Amino acid sequence: MSVYSIIELVGSSPTSWEDATRHALATASKTLEDLRIAEVVKQDVTVDNGKITSFRVRLNISFKYHERV
């Protein structure tokens, strides 16, 4: 039987929501093991002088819980 943890992350990118998602997952994978599912919960943009300056995604990421012995 397996147990999974879920955390919420926010990724950002100056180019796209897809790039923001990739960046968040790449960063998370440096410290979390066995990433399983990433669910985009929300997308938004930041705006400056009427222009989009960054794309942001809020993700729920699940990863396998490893019990420390």
Domain boundaries, the chain: 4-64
Q: What is the pLDDT of residues 18-56, one digit of tens each?
A: 999 999 999 999 999 889 999 999 999 999 999 999 999
**Greatest CA span in the chain, whole angstroms?**
54
Write b or e for each residue in 35-50: b if 16 or more Cβ atoms lie within 10 A of its Cβ, otherwise e: eeebeeeeeeeeeeee
Quick one: tokens of 61? Answer: 């990421």
Question: What pLDDT sits at residue 56?
Answer: 98
Q: Which of 48, 27, 44, 35 has its CA nearest to residue 6? A: 35
Q: Is 54 exposed, middle or buried (0-12, 13-18, 19+ CB in 10 A)?
A: middle
Question: What pLDDT sits at residue 59?
Answer: 97
Q: What is the pLDDT of residues 3-23, one digit of tens each?
A: 889 999 999 999 999 999 999
- Statement: the pTM of the whole predicted model exceeds 0.95: no
CATH no. for 4-64: 3.30.1660.10
